[in-house]
Amino acid sequence: MRSGAISFFRSLLSLWLTLALFSCSSMPENVKTVEKMPAIYPDYIGVTIPAGIAPLNFDALDEGVGCMDVVVKGSKGGELHANGDWVDFDVEDWHQLTAQNRGGTLTFTVSMEKDGQWTQYKDFKMTVSSDGLDDYGLTYRRIKPGYEVGGDIGIFQRDIHSFEETAVLTEHILPGRCFNCHTPNRNNPDLFTLQIRGEGGGTLIQRNGKQTWYNTKTDSTKAAGSYASWHPEGRYCAYAANAVHQAFFVGNGQRIEVYHNFSTVEILDTKTNELILSPLIQNGDLAIHPAFSADGRTLYYSTSKPCRVPAEYEKVKCSLCAIPFDASTGTFGEQVDTLLNGPATDKSYTLVRPSYDGHWLMYTVSSRSNFPIAQNDADLWLMDLKTGEHSELTEVNSRQSESYHNWSSNSHWFVFSSKREDGMYTKLYLAHIGTDGKVSKPFLLPQRNPLKYYRELMDAYNVPEFISQKVEFDAREAYRQVFRDERVGVKVRGDK
Amino acid sequence: MFFGIGVFLFWYLAYPYALSYQEQYQLFLWTGDYFCERISVPGGMSEWLGEFIVQFYYVEWLGALLLAFLFVALQRVVWCTMGAGHYLLSFVPSVLLFWLLGDPSVLLGYVWALLIAVGAYALNKGRGMKSLMADALLVPVVYWLAGPLAWVYVLLRLLGGAWRLSWMMPFYLFSLQMMACYWLLPQWTAEMVFQPMQFYRIPLQLSTLMWVIPFVTILVVLFSRQKSAAWLIPVEGAMLAVLCWLSIGSGYDKDMYELIRQDYLVRNERWDEIVKRARDYQVRTPFWSECVNLALSQQRQLAERMFTFYQSGEDALIMPRTRDLTSMLPSAEVFWRLGMVNSAQRYMFDTQESILNARKSGRCTKRIAECMMVNGHYQTARKQTGLLKKSLFYRAWANEAEAMMRNEAQMNAHPVYGKLRKLRYKEDFLYSYEEIDKMLGLLFMNNQENHMALDYFLAQLLLKGDMQGFTQYLQLAQQYGGYRYMPIGYQDVMKCIQQQGNVPGSPYAAYAKRMMQKGGGE
């Protein structure tokens, strides 16, 4: 350590020089044109965006580039110009341009200056969809992509029409607690649930600003609720109740295998505080990732046969199932349909998410496991509920894990998380889906200075959800409730 | 002057490892973002200044020197606020802070906050309209710079009888805190807003001294206005001497700092000193055993001498995962040197995430980057080096690492990284602490030049009391261990086996007996 003193003054000087750097301000001159696409980050070339989204700013991938100059022209009119170290569009101007070109295209002419020489690249296009994205934004959890210690976890909300991100609940106010993500009812910020684990843990339901804290663990169900899905009417909420564990690889490929010792799916009736169970689900198999259909008449979930985990981790293959649910009586149906059979196809089908228009079923397919985010081969697939046809979403998948997808309120956009960049730090992507099921190239969640932001961000994103309006949440009240440890008890329907 | 020299010598000569401990739980970045993030909350400037100083602890003499300046500055500022007499009392807050810093969870930002609060009073002690105007400005400024310790300024002004309406100042500060609480800090509890909790590494906790010191500082300033008398000087001197003695005697827990010292020596690979120190003083914990065993293994003396030192049990070589910011560090260092790179990465990652004030660790980040580099995960490694490049003391290494990642041949030829690539497991399977002995055996079979794995494998069998296993695999030590003769430690164990433990003076027999008494072992 003492040897560090030798380089101290040199480092200090170097840092001062770094700090002394100033941004570029030159305009293109003596421009050389080349017939290739510009190397930019994020790769926004050819993506489809909604009008009114936050500006899709980008940087040059080549660190030697000193200055960038971009002209954007809309097919229906309008023009935008940006010049600087990176491409930073004015939010208002961008909104105006995208609104004007709804259903059209934007053409980007990119010039970059390197070593005093300006180069103009081949133009690229971006499509502005005629389908809007009117939701306020996204909620998601940000967590260090670590192992058994969550670290500085936080649930955040992001206005997707600007760059504003605000904290909903962070570990700063609940130190040492782990919490999973906020699950709204069909993107409604006035009704959501989240789960706090560990000491003082509990299941929170916030309805119209009022927090109610439940203890959803019972003798029959062994664990509190985790992955959740709301019935559209807002009275019932389906939870998976499970015990999640991690095991760690010693080789240099995979890092973590996440497994559940047990898991079941239950429905909480928030009116009577009863848990509704079904012998067809509570049959000894591991049921997980419940999701109500758009009309609320069906509950989808994944299920796998029990095996000796972690030793037999490769045997965890989930099937995708559906069971009827009658909201008027709060009862499950008498029959379970297996939509996709995991063991028979040697795959695992998890995290099913029906679109809110009742047209699609999006889910994750991996070679094993009921925790797809940890599986490198996890990909998104889509089922057309009208025809039963299903296919891989090749437009959005990569060689790394894709999962945690969710739908926008109009079901024309979906958000998903992907580890495509480095296999570790999950980021959020948005993509458009047409009524014909055609999916566009996804785009990375925009940031003001994306290269700097994503390079410096040491968090992974997970469990993104669209929200129609900003979530109002009293984190201090949550703190009080966690430490007060008073919970509304629940009982299993039929138990005395 | 003498006080400053004393402070410098104390930290530099007696407790350099305490400086290392503090330095390893933060990563000060020379960026505008880092600065803005810190100063965006009340008291954040003091935090930033504290972290600024702590980064220099990396160079011990420099860290000790800056600390000495800080302590002397506080004493001088307190003296400036005092009356003409009672000079010795001006040392009291500094000495109490000396005591307080013995608690390793206290952050240096607290000292800065106190200095700023008292310093503001030194600047504005007067009465009249100018001081009144200054108060209107200084209260929010001091609150923003020093956080809740702004109360020291306010109380000094109030109790100092500065001006007729000084009773309004507490309401003024309280209103500012309330506004911050409701509009600026929605993710802070009320306790965090009103108490100096941001200067304590463990959230929602405070050391009692953190309450005592502000009040004593105020009392010292107020008392100094009393007329001094000649007889008071020796009394105050004696009181100060007692306080100094108490500060060092009570503030610095011997066993805790011994463990901090061992970790510091491990971090700096000063193996001889660890073993030498272990002969003089032992702390009967798994942490201590791990450090000593690692040092022995690096000297190839584990087989010879392991049981001549205290062994905590089956966890004496590698500890199971523990959620705190210190316990896993020796195990992570062991994993790294064994070639269990993924496990080293995991323990370092979890250690870093256990820093409850959400700071990064330069030490952990560097090791995580190294693990990723050995595993060839260059993209994620660059994310770590990108962070380190913004620091002062890890910058040079990060630049070298990034250059190395562009040259695979250089990576493979690197004396540490290249070697670890050969020592790693070739087969992928799930880690199991319960089967750590088997994992160590497999690691050795994976590369029979991995003598450390062999030593650890046999040592784990002995700790576990698996005599059958030890006898079975002892031949590996003969065949591959590179020993010219059977290590004395192994000879002792064999004698114990042959004589069923009845070997007077046998270190292993003593260990086995102790374990049996604990209800474990053979």
In chain A, which residues have their Cβ closer than 8 Å to the Cβ of B341? 252
Nearest to A250 among B379, B396, B431 (CB): B431
Q: If you measure CA to CA, which chain B residue comes closest to A475? A: B187
Q: If you measure CA to CA, which chain B residue comes closest to A251? A: B428
User: If pLDDT is split at 50, 70 and 90, which confidence band does A25 have?
Assistant: low
More confident residue, A394 or A26: A394
Instruction: For residue B508, give how far its alpha carbon lies from the nearest alpha carbon of chain A (Å).
Output: 32
DSSP-derived secondary structure letter, B182: I
Query: Which of B350, B370, B430 to probe by mutation at the A interface, max A CB count within 10 Å?
Result: B430
Instruction: For residue A427, give how far its alpha carbon lies from the nearest alpha carbon of chain B (Å).
Output: 14
Q: If you measure CA to CA, which chain A residue comes closest to B20? A: A1
Q: Do A250 and B60 count as a contact with CB atoms less than 8 A apart?
A: no
Q: B92-106: per-residue pLDDT in tens?
A: 999 999 999 999 999
Q: Do A252 and B395 count as a contact with CB atoms less than 8 A apart?
A: no
Q: Is the pLDDT of residue A155 over 90?
A: yes
At A14 the pLDDT is: 46
Instruction: For residue B200, give how far its alpha carbon lies from the nearest alpha carbon of chain A (Å).
Output: 13
Instruction: For residue A119, give how far its alpha carbon lies from the nearest alpha carbon of chain B (Å).
Output: 26
B322 contacts chain A (CB < 8 A) = no
B433 contacts chain A (CB < 8 A) = no
A183-185 and A298-304: which strand pairing? unpaired
DSSP-derived secondary structure letter, A48: E
In chain B, which residues have their Cβ closer than 8 Å to the Cβ of A8? 59, 62, 392-393
Q: Is the pLDDT of residue A227 over 70?
A: yes
Distance CA B376, CA A181 (A): 32
Q: Is the pLDDT of residue A244 over 80?
A: yes
- Beta bridge partners of residue A462, listed in sequence order: A141
- Beta bridge partners of residue A8, listed in sequence order: none
A286-292 and A48-49: which strand pairing? unpaired
At B178 the pLDDT is: 96
DSSP-derived 3-state class of residue A191: strand
Interface of B with A in 166-205 (CB under 8 A): 186-190, 192, 203-204
User: If pLDDT is split at 50, 70 and 90, which confidence band does A230 have?
Assistant: very high
Residues A345 and A249: beta-carbon distance below 8 Å: no
Q: If you measure CA to CA, which chain B residue comes closest to A423? A: B380
Q: A104-117: per-residue pLDDT in tens?
A: 999 999 999 999 99
DSSP-derived 3-state class of residue A94: helix
**B438, two tokens:** 């088997």
Nearest to B356 among A15, A175, A423 (CB): A175
pTM: 0.93
Q: Do A252 and B342 count as a contact with CB atoms less than 8 A apart?
A: yes
Rg, Å, chain B Cα set = 28
Which residue reads 């993710």 in tokens? B187
Distance CA A265, CA A172 (A): 31
Instruction: For residue B254, give how far its alpha carbon lies from the nearest alpha carbon of chain A (Å).
Output: 24
Distance CA A327, CA A269 (A): 10
**B507, two tokens:** 């270190």
Closest alpha carbon to A288 in A231, A335, A213, A225: A225
More confident residue, A2 or B513: B513
Which residue reads 């020489």 in tokens? A117
Q: Do B428 and A250 count as a contact with CB atoms less than 8 A apart?
A: yes
Residues B25 and B325: beta-carbon distance below 8 Å: yes
Distance CA B159, CA B180 (A): 25
Q: If you measure CA to CA, which chain B residue comes closest to A14? A: B392
Distance CA A155, CA A461 (A): 10
pLDDT less than 50: residues of chain B: 520-522
Tell me the average pLDDT across A139-154.
Answer: 88
Interface of B with A in 46-75 (CB under 8 A): 58-62
B516 contacts chain A (CB < 8 A) = no
Q: Do A476 and B190 count as a contact with CB atoms less than 8 A apart?
A: yes
**B376, two tokens:** 């060839």
Q: A255-314: per-residue pLDDT in tens?
A: 899 999 999 999 999 999 999 999 999 999 999 999 999 999 999 999 999 999 999 999
Chain-centroid distance of CA A90 in Å reads: 26
Distance CA A70, CA A87 (A): 7
Amino acid at B387: L
Interface of B with A in 91-150 (CB under 8 A): none
Nearest to B59 among A2, A169, A254 (CB): A2
**A234, two tokens:** 């807002």
Percentage of residues in chain A with pLDDT exceeding 90? 83
At A9 the pLDDT is: 43
Q: If you measure CA to CA, which chain B residue comes closest to A309? A: B430
Q: If you measure CA to CA, which chain B residue comes closest to A454? A: B383
Query: Which of A171, A249, A252 to probe by mutation at the B interface, max B CB count within 10 Å?
Result: A252
Q: Do A11 and B393 count as a contact with CB atoms less than 8 A apart?
A: yes
Q: Do A252 and B375 count as a contact with CB atoms less than 8 A apart?
A: yes
Tell me the average pLDDT across A144-168.
Answer: 91
In chain B, which residues have their Cβ closer than 8 Å to the Cβ of A157? none
Which residue reads 């002792």 in tokens? B492
At A23 the pLDDT is: 60
Distance CA B415, CA B239 (A): 56
Q: Is the pLDDT of residue A6 over 50?
A: no
Q: Do B429 and A172 count as a contact with CB atoms less than 8 A apart?
A: no
> Count of H helices and E strands in chain B?
29, 0
